[in-house]
Amino acid sequence: MTISKQVPESKVRIACLQMEPHVGDKERNLARSVEMIDEAAEANANLVVLPELCNSGYVFNTRAEAQSLAEEIPEGPTCRTWVDAAARHEMHIVAGIAERDGRALSNSAVGIGPHGVIGTYRKNHLWAAENLVFEPGNLGVPVFHTEIGRIAAAVCYDIWFPDVFRLAALQGADILCVPTNWVPMPDQPKNLPKMSNILAMGGAHSNSMFVAAADRVGEERGQPFIGNSLVVGYTGWPIAGPASEDREEMLIADANLSDARRKRNWNDFNQVLRDRRIDLYAEDLGANIIRGWY
């Protein structure tokens, strides 16, 4: 299988916005997110990633508290504000938000383009006490087709599962955007990268796709967060970051998303998706393969 080299160029400037939300203070959090989006626009970014639950905060005491902070997509005030920012700057945004859909609550990532909301991802793998607050995702791993490339999303703990990367790659995703609230992992050696960073790098490498992960910093109701946002190239090596552990900052990375498609052929013999040995397991294990994207 040979992928045509006549692939349209998809050059983007990615900004991962590492910020410190405060639980329950939606007005402040939203205003700070817009300030950082404006700063990213000044740096000529056209794809911006914000942390998980960045408008509401993360550590909810009760489901009722989460319910009071959740919003509908796309009608809620947070989405409307981000839609206005994306239109003003002609950019794409992927950001974490507590989503309310009827009585259901989801830990979601919303994708927004210059002309409005382009899609929603709902976190499939809930971490710790999130299981008491949110329903597991029910939208699979959608890929949003945009003028700057094919964008998929995941949220935090989702990247502990290689299935998420692979489901996105099989649908032709060029980049996986990861709003996240990474927390310290047990027995983390001080002289090695964070486990979250290693997983992001491994998923990017084994699926030939870019990964842009925006984490938060600070401590919330006794829970610390580790920062270390990063952007990973399709080869698996970071092209920006990791960021600091304890301060807000913006990571900028220039990428040609088309490279992810071209380089899925690693050499004359190996293609990272074709080489899967689906004869060793049920062909429909976890996905219906979407063919023809290349």
Give the whole-angstrom CA distance, residue 115 versus residue 15.
19
Q: Pick the closest to residue 160 from 209, 110, 198, 212 (CA basis).
A: 198
Compute CA distances 278 → 140, 274, 284, whole Å: 20, 9, 9
DSSP at 61: S
Contact (CB, 8 A) for 127 and 154: no
Contact (CB, 8 A) for 197 and 16: no
Which residues share a beta bridge with 144?
Answer: 151
- Residue 206, classified by CB atoms within 10 Å of its CB into exposed (0-12), middle (13-18) or buried (19+), is middle
Helix (H, G, I), strand (E, B) or coil at 255: strand
Residues that are catalytic: 52, 123, 156
Amino acid at residue number 11: K
Consecutive H or E run containing 152: strand 149-153
Give me the residue label for tokens 């610390």.
224
DSSP at 171: T
Give the whole-angstrom CA distance, residue 233 versus residue 195.
17
Structure tokens that stand for 191 in this block: 């002289």
> Which region holds residue 119: left if phi is over 0, alpha if psi is between -120 and 50, else beta?
left
